[in-house]
Structure 1
Amino acid sequence: MSTTRETGRQILGELMGPDYVEKKDKKRNSFNDVIQDYSEEVCFGRTWSRDGISRKQRSILNIAMLTALNRPAQLAHHIEGALTNGCTVDELKEILLQTAVYCGLPAAGEAFRVAEEVLRAGGHLD
């Protein structure tokens, strides 16, 4: 029987790749272990594992929310995850354009910059 933490780690690996999980584990210590457990158990093990909406839809929501919250480091990870979950470059562009209207141009401009870096690094842009 799988625990919610194991389920979360599996989903995290599927979204971000096994290297991401390994890197995350190497950074684990007696101080940050509680937030890592929370992320794996609650965010991925309980929420991302639900059937109510698709992983692609969850990625779209996260991109919009992380743009609104101005969280570029997390946004970069979730851009990668969105690609894994089937978002196209054109869809990402439209999601970020939509955030310009509701989150403001500075937030969307920063999100475009972050997304462009991720897309270039992944070979998705010229």
Structure 2
Amino acid sequence: MTTWTSDELDGIEAAEELRIASLRRDGSLSSWRTIWVVRLGDDIFVRSVNGSTSAWFRGTRVRQEGRIQAGGVEKDVTFVDAEAEVDDRVDAAYRAKYGHYAANIIASITSPEASATTMRLVPRAQRS
């Protein structure tokens, strides 16, 4: 299994936003979407502020694979549904990183609907 390097983790963590595209059934990438991203230790997490009805989130369900760009890192990833046990820690990471935004925005990304979409991004070997 491929893992994040320290430089990749640091770059993604420092980035304000992450661009994400899911892999379609035919192997092509969907349109890029810009979302928020947080790091917990050696793991990278994302979630959909609009819950499971968001188009970009629904796209991740097709093949559970895609590509991300953030902080100088561009990487193929697998989308792994996070266990509910990390929700409180992911909430805290979002509050810490994005707490300078309005309280209602933070409440949206830490809502039960958003938490239900929490995914861990697992790096994959680059395509040739």
Greater RCO, 1 or 2 (C-alpha within 8 Å, sep 6+): 2
Q: TM-score if structure 1 supplies the norm length?
A: 0.31
* Structure in which a larger fraction of residues adopt helix: 1
Which structure would you say has the larger Rg?
A: 1
More strand by share: 2
Normalising by structure 2, what TM-score? 0.31
